[in-house]
């Protein structure tokens, strides 16, 4: 299988410049790689005329990736019901980066992102909270609470499954994740 590589350049007019956004390589389960890079240099716009693999991300996608300590793909690229090419990813952010001494200073907020690819543009189509130290929502699995271990892929019409627990009773509840007809992430 030939690997397709897409680079998503995080550039937009009027965006807040983030001090240091690392490059993210989303390796999709079928072998496709989608590279997301941040470059403040306008010369990347000229470079994109030569390199067909560069996509431009919208402001919302930039803001999620700028705060992420880790980001990885969840699904392969697929078509939504309205024909949009998309893939889902998980981003992990610090719960209280501004207050490391707080209740969740060492905790995380994990989000599922639905990223759409339309021509030369990558957009954040939808996002949903998966795990949260601040909201007392925890993933449960034999491999711990890291989403790489606790979230499993499912065949269509679902994309993933996981178990979670939350107060007040802390029962373990199984969930399935799917993309709705209106391109929204739904946790059942």
Encode pLDDT of 85-136 as tens digits: 898 999 998 886 555 554 554 588 999 999 998 876 778 999 999 998 888 8
The structure tokens listed for 72 are: 């990885």
For residues 35-54, b (16+ Cβ closer than 10 Å) or e, as one string?
Answer: bbbbbeeeebeeebeeeeeb
| Any domain includes 148 | no
Each residue's pLDDT tens digit, 50-69: 344 556 677 788 888 888 88
**pTM reported for the whole predicted model:** 0.77
Quick check: is 58 in a domain? Answer: yes
Distance (Å, whole) CA 187 – CA 161: 9
In a domain, 164, yes or no: no
pLDDT of residue 125: 95
More reliable by pLDDT, 64 or 46: 64
- Residue 187 in any domain: the answer is no
Q: How far is CA 53 from the centre of its chain?
A: 20
Strand partners, 148: none
The number of folded domains in the chain is 1
Residue 157 lies in a domain: no
Structural domain includes residue 158:
no
The domain in which residue 98 lies consists of 5-132
* Burial class, 24, CB count within 10 angstroms (exposed 0-12 / middle 13-18 / buried 19+): buried
Half-sphere exposure in the Cβ direction for 142 (13 Å, CA): 1
In-domain check, residue 124: yes
> Is 108 inside a domain boundary?
yes
């Amino acid at each position: 299988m030939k690997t397709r590589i897409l680079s998503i350049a995080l550039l937009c007019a009027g965006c807040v410049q983030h001090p240091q956004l690392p490059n993210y390589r989303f390796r999709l389960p079928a072998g496709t790689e989608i590279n997301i890079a941040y470059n403040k240099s306008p010369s990347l716009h000229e470079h994109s005329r030569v390199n067909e693999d560069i996509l431009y991300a919208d402001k919302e996608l930039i803001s999620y990736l700028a705060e992420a300590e880790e980001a990885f793909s969840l699904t392969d690229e697929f078509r939504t019901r309205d024909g949009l090419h998309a893939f889902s990813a998980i981003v992990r952010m610090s719960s209280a980066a501004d207050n490391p001494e707080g209740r969740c200073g060492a905790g995380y907020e994990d989000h599922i992102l639905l990223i759409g690819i339309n021509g030369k543009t990558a957009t954040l189509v939808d996002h949903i909270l998966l795990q949260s130290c601040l909201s007392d929502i925890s993933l449960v699995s034999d491999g711990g609470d890291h989403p790489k271990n606790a979230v499993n892929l499912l065949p269509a019409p679902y994309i993933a499954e996981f178990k979670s627990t939350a107060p007040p009773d802390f029962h373990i509840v199984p969930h399935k994740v799917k993309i709705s007809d209106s391109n929204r992430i739904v946790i059942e």
